[in-house]
Structure 1
Amino acid sequence: MLRLRDETFDPANPAAYNLYLLAGPTRLYLTAVDVERQKFVALEEYILGPGGVPALAAQHDFLALRGWNAVRLAVTGRAFTLLPASLFRPGDEAAALRLHHTPTPTETIRHTTHPSQELVNVFAADTALANWLGATHGATGRLVHHTSALLAGLVHQRGAAAPRRLYLNPGQQELTLVVLGQHLEYCNVFPCSTAEDVVYYTILVMQELGLDPDQDDVTVWGEFTPDSAVFSLLRTYVRNVKFGARPGNVHYSYRLNDVFEYRYFDLFSLHFA
């Protein structure tokens, strides 16, 4: 469990903050941003037990508080699809997602629009989690897929003239790969449990998209560490691998200096989603 809080953070005044949550199958990551100062002032990580986020919120000191300036909750997983905005019509969510994923009885289907990218993200989320967000945070709460946060953060960080590049974001038993040039060229989430999985899917995507493992840069965020077996194996096959930085044009409490800068990129990127 991780719990880092700036001494200025006052959850008793939630209207002064945005609350961002990233929910995986077994963990919840959260951060809070001081709206006036545009500064991340809290970073926490929890293992989820029975009952998931709603059960954790019932025991947490501020997760169930109402009155935040904004609340964004991202869900991980492979149950999503990205569509051109021009081809999407409200009400088509189930049909669009069914091409890739069959929703279970405990799932609800939602969508998020990305006007700047002319995309719509259709995804499945746990119904109990979605209901908790709505009941607890009402109109201030927004449910998104974590790829929406990741893409928003990448677009924000890259700028308009950035070169075509592959980005890796490993999470809980999954690996998200994104190729961005002038436009989004590729985004997918793969099941991933070993170092060999990471290398296999990375090389596969590079080959399919015409990227050269000996020449093209690959940027990594997420769960890797520089001395991990995964990173060592990846560098054996991909020459130019580097760790990414946190999203820019915002501030971070010195308390967050205790974690690597390439961690929690998709969580921080909820600020731009």
Structure 2
Amino acid sequence: MALTETIAKEIQPTVKVADESFGINDTQLCTLSIEIDELRFRFCAVQDDNRQCRWLEDYASDTFLNKGELLEKLKQITVEHPFLGADSWKSISVAVNTNAFTLVPAPLFRKEYAAEYLHLVLGRTVQPEDRVMHHYLAQVDAYNVFTIPSEWSEWLMGQYPFQTIEFCHLTSPLITGALASHKEYNEPRILSACFEEEYVTLLFSEGGKLLFCNRFRYSNAQELTYLILFTLNQLNYQPENVKMYLYGEITPYADTYTELARFIPHLNFGQNPGALRYTADFEDIPGHRYFGLLNTCLMPRQ
């Protein structure tokens, strides 16, 4: 059986929140935001004039897909979807989640050295099949330098040839959301944690300023808790003096939550960004789950 046939049979969104009145003619009023990594593909449509999220879909794979397999899956989803492949979107933003990223202060950034910045972080040169990109993040006056598989970026630009796609690393919308949280939650110090399968992105901010951002791999709840406590210790803060907000793939019943609750007294689940409006159907999904994707809609256009 051909790869595309095998993948096609598996494609169904695991989560769908839809304004059923939405159609292809509405795309010209909306920003299409996409989040993509090796296990997940998510997108949402936000109407620009009133900032209402009118559509969200989440596709997840139970098994690891290589870059080629994931690309075939994305192509199939787009071909079969009633409006995802439309060429009339008002704007398009894509957040990629890869291990290779680094923040470089704007005064030190030089475009021609972008690959060298990643070399320092990775301890090796960037793979030939990966493309180096950068995105300016005004909130921290820094460039987020990252890689994306070349075949992903080439397919996306080929899929939407008449539109400029804004590419960024997922940490950029996470930073945007984390800094906005100070105003939304009225907290001076916030540790934001965005969970994936086997990974967590930690962001520590104080007074609306980012002090720490990194992505860690962990194998169990105890290792995760150690990473978080060690990070706080390196920042010279005690857990009781920090509010921690959880996002992404975590529930109150997870071992990771139970273990964290033993050591972090002020543990909270985050909410959807307050800068967006939501249909009634959004009440059926956890407010913390799509923090990265929804904040991608709020990224300033460059």
SS in 2 for 1:159: helix
Given the two structures, how large is their TM-score scaled by the length of structure 1? 0.93
Contact 1:77 1:189 in 2 (8 A): no
Aligned partner of residue 57 in structure 1, secondary structure: helix
Q: What is the CA–CA distance in structure 2 between the aligned matches of 1:222 and 1:200, rounded to whole Å? A: 19
Q: Is 79-88 or 162-171 further displaced after alignment?
A: 162-171
What's the RMSD between the two structures over aligned residues? 1.8
Cα distance in 1 for residues equivalent to 2:70 and 2:98: 18
> Gaps spanning 5+ residues in structure 2: where?
1-13
Q: For structure 1, which segment, 7-16 or 127-136, has the greater mean C-alpha deviation from structure 2 after superposition?
A: 7-16
| Displacement after TM superposition at 1:6 (Å) | 1.1
Task: Report deviation, 1:150.
Answer: 0.6
Mapped pair 1:194 → 2:211:
no
Partner of 1:181: 206
Cα shift readout 1:87-145 (whole Å, capped 9, x = no counterpart): 10222211111111232222100000012321110001111111122122244311110
Contact 2:195 2:249 in 1 (8 A): yes
Opposite residue 249 of structure 1, the aligned amino acid is: A
Aligned residues: 273
Check whether the contact 1:220–1:244 (CA below 8 A) recurs between aligned residues.
yes
Identify the match of residue 238 of structure 2 among 212, 219, 242.
212
Runs of 4+ in 1 over 4 A off after TM superposition: none
CA distance in 1, matches of 2:223, 2:38: 19
The yes-or-no answer on 1:28 pairing with 2:41 is: yes
Alignment equivalent of 1:229, drawn from 255, 273, 285:
255
Higher share in helix: 2
Distance 2:267 2:105 in 1: 30
SS in 2 for 1:105: coil
TM-score relative to the length of structure 2: 0.85
Counterpart in the other structure of 1:164: 189
Q: Deviation at 1:55?
A: 4.2
Given the alignment, which residue of 43, 53, 73 partners 2:56? 43
Instruction: Look up the match of 1:257.
Output: 283
CA distance in 2, matches of 1:86, 1:66: 37
Q: Which secondary structure does the structure 2 equivalent of 1:56 belong to?
A: helix
Aligned amino acid, residue 36 of structure 1: D
CA contact (8 A) 2:36 2:42 kept: yes
Are positions 1:62 and 2:87 aligned together?
Answer: no
My pick for the range that moved more, 212-221 or 43-52, is 43-52
Q: Which residues of structure 1 form unaligned runs of 5+?
A: none
- In the other structure, the counterpart of 1:75 is 96
For residues 135-150 of structure 1, what are the structure 2 equivalents within 5 Å? 135-138=158-161, 139-150=163-174
Say which SS state the counterpart of residue 100 (structure 1) adopts.
Answer: helix
Corresponding residue number in structure 1 for 2:155: 132
The answer as to 2:27 corresponding to 1:14 is: yes
Q: Distance in 2 between matches of 1:236 and 1:65?
A: 48
State the 1:256 CA deviation.
Answer: 1.4
Q: Which stretch shifts more, 208-217 or 112-121?
A: 208-217
Deviation at 1:259, TM superposition (A): 0.3
Q: Which amino acid aligns with 1:151?
A: I
Mapped to 1, the partners of 2:130 and 2:268 lie a distance apart of 37
Secondary structure (helix, strand or coil) at the match of 2:112 reads coil
Structure 2 residue 106 is matched with structure 1 residue 85:
yes
Amino acid at match of 1:114: L
